[in-house]
Amino acid sequence: MDLTNIWQDCLSRIKDRIPAQTYQTWFEPLKVTGLVESDIVLQVPSRFYYEWLDSHYRPLILESLKHATGKDLKVRYNVALGDTAQDENETPVPTEIEDPNGFSKSTQLNRRYTFENFIEGAGNQFARAAALSICDTQKKAAFNPLVMYGGVGLGKTHLLQAVGNRMMSQKAGFKIIYTTSEKFTLDFITSIQKNRTTAFSKYFRSVDMLLVDDIQFFQRKEQTQEQFFHTFNDLFQRGKKIVMTMDKPPSELSGLKERLTSRFQSGLTVDIQAPDLETRIAILMRKAEEDKLDIPYDTTEYIARCIKSNVRDLEGALIRLLAYSSLRKQEINLNLARNVVQEILGRQAAKTVTIDEIIKAISRETNIRETLLVGKGRRKDIARARQLAMYLSRELTEASLVSIGLHFAGRDHSTVIHACKKIESMMRDDPVFQAKVDTLSKELANPVY
């Protein structure tokens, strides 16, 4: 059978039965890669694609296959692994899904975690630079160990594994162990049960680099701490590199022995902070690009303004938005994003405003066209309305002064500062004007959807 023609026939049939956005999202990225007995093999970009397709569109795919071939074919999925993804002309893929998330059993590293796809921002810039520095094989590290700390979902594990992947790719025969503190503890307990503590110690002390995630879970595990202390000392004395992550600075971890925290503090300790607005937008745009999604910028910005906690929550909101779009057969837009965010955060927490919405509101209130508000006009009523829009943009959004100025014909940040001071002065001198500004502010901050 000509698999390519069969699959194109199936896609044509599927395309007529589902919304265009759903087809672009879930079916355009698929490739047919082989036929194993009575199973047609489809290559998918990720496990998420596989699970979603299998649970929501399997009947439609099977029906389309039967229509195209006259046979009851089954569907088998294979997850693409970056550069190692199989070409359409290669031999049929294995019957089981291999490495669905880029995970390597031999190194325990995920190949998707690289420096190249780590979005750099003000909150993680120093940590990324330090992680890159410790990967330099041309010179001895100026610090050892490297300790990165920060809250949940801020990219600590990504950077830690990026170090491992970079070292594996640039130095042949370089031995790395990546582990979590929980796994280290469980392996140590198992070694005690099987009288293999010597082999356990030898294994962890035979590496060129040790990467340990979530050190905080060593707290109050005294025997494990003792074992790790001696492992750390042995590697440190022999100049082997050690990189660790934790949720707090070493000095704030209770339940750890003082001599262990002292060792942690002997190197470089860097923190990873929550991403700022621009970084959150960049993260969402990168994620959408990777998943081949076409999401309007105002929708991306809205999600980034609302979800401020961590990267994991940002990506979760994007996945939920995608799911809603498919299930409800709606295009991805700002209104759909608002519904999703309200479910995640609650109605009150999801309320936010953009500079464009402020400009529209001021235009309605003053009967001045938006183009005049953001233009170069110096007429007194236009200038005053523009200053009010700048003031509310500073008060109600996270945008920087520079960003606000760019929305108003590229004006300098000093112009924005002057506008804000002028409005504040008018509010102090005129209670009626202050009440008007307060009302506008409340209406913008609490829109009715």
CATH label of the domain that carries residue 319: 1.10.8.60
Please give the pLDDT value at position 213: 92
pLDDT at 84 over 50: no
pLDDT at 209 over 70: yes
Instruction: Report whether 248 contacts 262 (CB < 8 A).
Output: no
Residue range 18-47: average pLDDT? 76
Residue 296, in any domain of the structure? yes
Which of 345, 367, 389 lies at the terminal end of a domain, its last residue?
345
Residue 157, in any domain of the structure? yes
Residue 227, in any domain of the structure? yes
Please give the pLDDT value at position 217: 86
303 in the same domain as 411: no
Q: Which domain holds residue 428?
A: 355-445
146 in the same domain as 13: no
Please give the pLDDT value at position 21: 66
Residue 99, in any domain of the structure? no
Domain count, the chain: 4
Please give the pLDDT value at position 87: 34
Which residues, 6+ apart, have CB-to-CB distance to 402 below 8 Å? Answer: 413
Residue 350's pLDDT band (cuts 50, 70, 90): low
Q: Which of 55-59, 116-120, 268-272, 293-297 has the lowest mean pLDDT?
A: 55-59
Please give the pLDDT value at position 390: 92
The string of DSSP codes covering 32-60 is: EEEEETTEEEEEESSHHHHHHHHHHTHHH
Residue 266, in any domain of the structure? yes
136 in the same domain as 247: yes
pLDDT at 261 over 70: yes
267 in the same domain as 153: yes
Which of 252, 272, 292 lies at the terminal end of a domain, its last residue?
272
User: What gap in Å lies between CA 74 and CA 54, rounded to an integer?
Assistant: 11
Which of 23, 51, 84 lies at the terminal end of a domain, its last residue?
84
168 in the same domain as 244: yes
Which pTM does this prediction carry? 0.58
Quote the percentage of the chain above a pLDDT of 90. Answer: 15
Residue 119, in any domain of the structure? no
Residue range 299-323: average pLDDT? 83
191 in the same domain as 140: yes
376 in the same domain as 338: no
Mean pLDDT of the chain: 81
368 in the same domain as 335: no
Which residues, 6+ apart, have CB-to-CB distance to 251 below 8 Å? Answer: 261, 265
Residue range 195-223: average pLDDT? 89
Q: pLDDT by residue (tens digit) across 103-130?
A: 666 667 888 888 888 888 888 889 999 9
CATH label of the domain that carries residue 376: 1.10.1750.10
**Higher local confidence (pLDDT), 306 or 141:** 306
Please give the pLDDT value at position 103: 61
Buried b / exposed e along 316-348 (16+ C-beta atoms within 10 A): ebbebbbebbbeeeeebebebbbbbbbebbeee
Instruction: Report whether 268 contacts 132 (CB < 8 A).
Output: no
User: What gap in Å lies between CA 150 and CA 128, rounded to an integer?
Assistant: 13
User: What gap in Å lies between CA 159 and CA 308, rounded to an integer?
Assistant: 20
140 in the same domain as 18: no
**Higher local confidence (pLDDT), 44 or 166:** 166
Residue range 196-204: average pLDDT? 89
Residue 142's pLDDT band (cuts 50, 70, 90): confident
Residue 225, in any domain of the structure? yes
Residue range 340-352: average pLDDT? 67
CATH label of the domain that carries residue 152: 3.40.50.300
Please give the pLDDT value at position 386: 92
Please give the pLDDT value at position 105: 63
302 in the same domain as 232: no
Residue 149's pLDDT band (cuts 50, 70, 90): very high
Residue with tokens 């796994």: 183
| Neighbouring-strand partners of residue 176 | 209
| Token reading at 35 | 């036929």
238 in the same domain as 174: yes
CATH label of the domain that carries residue 72: 3.30.300.180
Residue 181, in any domain of the structure? yes
